[in-house]
Amino acid sequence: MKHLLRSASLAGVAAVALTLSACGGGDDAAEDGAAVAPTDAQAEITYAIWDENQKPAIDQNIKDFNEKYPNIKVTVDLTPYQQYFTKLQTQGESRTLPDVFWMNGPNVQLYAANDLLQPVTGLVESGDVDPSKYPDALNELYSFEGTQYGVPKDFDTVALWYNKALFEQAGVDLPTDDWTWDDFTAAAGTISEKLADQGVYGVVTELNGGGQSSYYDSILQAGGHVISEDGTSSGYDDPASIEGLRLWADLVADGASPSVQQLSDTKPNVWFNSGKAAMFWSGNWSVAEMKDSPNKDDFGIVRLPEGPERRATVIHGLANVVAADGENVEAANAFLAYLGSEEAQRTQAEMGAANPAYTGTQEAFVDSVPSFGIDVFLESADEMSFPYPISKNTAAWNALENELLPQAFSGERPVEDVAKELADAMDEELAKE
């Protein structure tokens, strides 16, 4: 789940212009506080975020915002991701939400359904926010029942990171954009075997803290799904989904990947960062960390390997939202509109904070570390991305995934059994929504 926070998503999938219908309808919802404050407005607002790495870019955003709105004081409230949504939930309950805050896919429907978020419909109508400048998949992710509630901030997809030096040492050909699962698993196996004396593994990824950079992608590549399109039933019992899970169980069983325990003691990014793993499934949120790695000159990025059914990556992105019933909704709206602007998002890209959502501003992010080949993430977004699986109470079944799936990846229980149990338990949670 950590990545979720950091990343933003969206892309491809375009499809369905739900957004448009959102702009048309939803008048009643939008009436309240839809306006943007005048530039001489005086107010104090809070902006809640969870990623410390992005703080410098956000401080810069606030500085630029204050050139136009000198009397709106913005205070940043930074809470680490692990506690962010726990705190936000309590704030929501006591109706003391921050004026403007970060939102992610798994949580947006929960807050929107409980009327805690201000629809952006009014800002769209007044021209302060233009949804067509953001990927459709992101607009869709932040819409609930036809109304859009968030302005996309950034997005991320997943790709295959690799360490050239380790591939060369093991005498294995470097990965390419045309790799298949077979190429990938063979390389992972060979490298772990040849470099075993150095304690180097073929591949690492997050296996017990959410599936964004591992099984969500492999399930899609195998042709399966995590949740049905209408969000009412689990896809974990789909044979294709089971095949997607088995990819990781097999890699662990073969010793090509560290065990679930090892990945819990030492996080996947640490294995890769320190040159103890040759490949790493991860998203563009890792750029900020890996550009400072001692092994950074050996790192490269290619598309995720093609599965038995297709190429795929999930896409997710963050959005900025405004709390409904806030005291300074107009000032908050002004700040929200600014954060969604081309200028603000370009600043984020240039400072290497995130891969921005605003069309045309991503170049600066790609150029921030030329040797990595960051454009792979954008291509993946355009060509092979699928929406991040969510429902109204995503957290409930995310907890089930984290509880059950490690048993399958560790080989403790057969993958089929775990997947069936997970599907049943998840269906039960979905029925409660």
Partner 1 sequence: MTSVDRSPRAGAGVASPARGSTPRPAGRAGGADRRPRRSHDGWWPVLFVLPTMFGVVLFYLWPIVQTGYFSFTEWGAFGGQTWVGAENYVRLASDPDLGTAVVNTLVYTAIVLLGIPVAMVVASLLNRPGMRFTAFYRVLYFMPYVAMPTAVAMVWRLIFNGDFGVLNWLLGLVGIDGPAWTSTPGFALVAVSVVGLWTSLGFAIIILSAGLRNIPPELYEAAALDGATAWRQFRSVTVPLLTPSVFFVTVITVINGFQLFDLLYALMGQANPAIQQTQSLVYLFYNEAFLRNDKGFAAAIAMVILLIVGAVTLLQFRMQRRWVTYA
| Contact residues for partner 1, defined by CB under 8 A | 1, 82, 86, 89, 92-93, 110, 114, 116, 199, 208-210, 258-262, 264-266, 393, 395-396, 399, 402-403, 406-407, 410
CB of 236 to partner 1, least distance (A): 18
Q: From the CB of 93, what's the least distance to partner 1, in Å?
A: 5
Instruction: Specify whether the CB–CB gap between 102 and 320 falls below 8 A.
Output: yes
HSE of 373, CA atoms in CB hemisphere, 13 A: 16
Q: Which two tokens stand for residue 66?
A: 């204050």
Q: Select 2 or 133, whichever has its Cβ closest to partner 1.
A: 2
On whether the CB atoms of residues 13 and 387 are closer than 8 A, the answer is yes
Measured from the CB atom, the residue of 107 and 157 that comes closer to partner 1 is 107
Which residue do the tokens 């990945």 mark?
263
Nearer to partner 1, 110 or 245 (CB): 110
Please give the Cα distance from 415 to 95 (Å, whole number): 43
Q: How far is the CB of 266 from partner 1 (least distance, A)?
A: 6
Least separation in angstroms between residue 115's CB and partner 1 is 9
CA distance 214 to 408: 14
Closer residue to partner 1 in complex, CB, 15/399: 399
Identify which of residues 66 and 89 has a Cβ nearer to partner 1 in the complex: 89
Q: Residue 299 or 409: which CB sits closer to partner 1?
A: 409
Q: How far is the CB of 412 from partner 1 (least distance, A)?
A: 9
Strands 43-49 and 100-103: parallel
Nearest alpha-carbon partner for 42 in 75, 67, 77, 69:
69
Q: How would you class 191 by CB atoms within 10 Å of its CB: exposed for 0-12, middle for 13-18, buried for 19 or more?
A: buried
The number of beta carbons lying within 10 Å of the beta carbon of residue 92 is: 17
CB of 411 to partner 1, least distance (A): 12
Tally the C-alpha atoms within 13 A of residue 158's C-alpha that lie toward its C-beta. 30
Nearest to 339 by CA among 149, 91, 154, 105: 154
Residue 314 or 405: the one with the smaller Cβ distance to partner 1 is 405
Q: Which CB sits closer to partner 1, 257 or 345?
A: 257
Shortest Cβ distance from residue 304 to partner 1 (Å)?
Answer: 22
Closest CA to 235 of 211, 267, 258: 211
Q: Which of 248, 223, 188 is nearest to 418 (CA)?
A: 248
Q: How far is the CB of 207 from partner 1 (least distance, A)?
A: 9
Judge whether 231 and 21 are in contact, CB under 8 Å: no
Structure tokens, 223: 């042709």
